[in-house]
Amino acid sequence: QQQVKQSPQSLIVQKGGISIINCAYENTAFDYFPWYQQFPGKGPALLIAIRPDVSEKKEGRFTISFNKSAKQFSLHIMDSQPGDSATYFCAATTGNQFYFGTGTSLTVIP
């Protein structure tokens, strides 16, 4: 059973637009929710992460919105750029293994 469900599978956004990727989870014991960015031929790299005691975290153009009651969290990329084109994975953990979503392939069109 998949612990973290991610959507959409792929996303195409115009340069300057907002990219939104959504994830949902079931296990209320999860206490750390990271987003990873992966470029072709590279490993996933930590982009931004949030703990469930806050509803939003912003780092530059990247924002995580967290809804504890709905057990959902999302990544917002503001002013999307072609260089943001990559695969994005959400994840959740209780401190040991990470449970990842299936990934979202983002393409930002110039």
Partner 1 sequence: EAGVTQFPSHSVIEKGQTVTLRCDPISGHDNLYWYRRVMGKEIKFLLHFVKESKQDESGMPNNRFLAERTGGTYSTLKVQPAELEDSGVYFCASSRLDTYGYTFGSGTRLTVV
Binding site for partner 1 (CB under 8 A): 2, 4, 6, 32, 34, 36, 41-46, 49, 89, 91, 93, 95-103
For residues 13 and 41, give the distance between their C-alpha atoms in angstroms, rounded to a whole number. 22
Distance CA 12, CA 44 (A): 20
Considering the complex, what minimum distance in angstroms separates the CB of residue 52 from partner 1? 13
Decide whether 12 or 18 has the Cβ nearer to partner 1.
12
Q: Which is nearer to partner 1, 62 or 100 (CB)?
A: 100
**CA–CA dist 98, 92 (Å, integer):** 6
